[in-house]
Amino acid sequence: MRLTAFTDVSLRLVMRLAVAEEGELLTTRTVAGMLAVPYTHMAKAVARLSEAGIVEARRGRGGGLLLTDRGRRASVGEIVRDLEGDGDLAGCEDDPPCPLRAACRLRVALREAREAFYASLDGVTVQSLVTQPAQDVLVLLASPRTPR
């Protein structure tokens, strides 16, 4: 299974925020530059993760992004499940719908495979993703250029 680019960006954001120093508030624009992601994509990830209670986005002077306690405790499986959703992996109901959908077992097999994938990520914590050597790389990220 391949994650959407949106989920990839969101996980990168969560990982960077997980290693932020006490009082370090990164802006959406800054973290977009650090992670080499277009600002508009990062803004959408921030909005979705804020809705989910994983990231807190403070506005105005002295504002920035913080990983919430829920975000620190969340498993990667929980975050990915929330971001990817539970839609069909195959185009069973596309327009036009698949003519095999009434008798096909592929849809069920793919759903079970997706759940097995998520379950394997349930044991992975955000904190485990940001231990060494990843921690040093995440902390040292700098904005080499203006984000797109």
Looking at residue 146, what is its pLDDT? 42
Q: What is the mean pLDDT of residues 20-31?
A: 89
pLDDT band at 147 (very low <50, low <70, confident <90, very high): very low
Mean pLDDT, the chain, rounded, equals 88
Looking at residue 55, what is its pLDDT? 97
Q: Is the pLDDT of residue 35 over 90?
A: yes
Question: What is this structure's pTM?
Answer: 0.83
- Greater pLDDT, 74 or 24: 74
Three-state secondary-structure class, residue 20: coil
Looking at residue 23, what is its pLDDT? 81
- Greater pLDDT, 25 or 19: 19
Residues 6 or more apart in contact with residue 48 via CB below 8 angstroms: 6, 10, 83
Looking at residue 142, what is its pLDDT? 63
Count CB-CB contacts under 10 A for residue 61.
Answer: 5
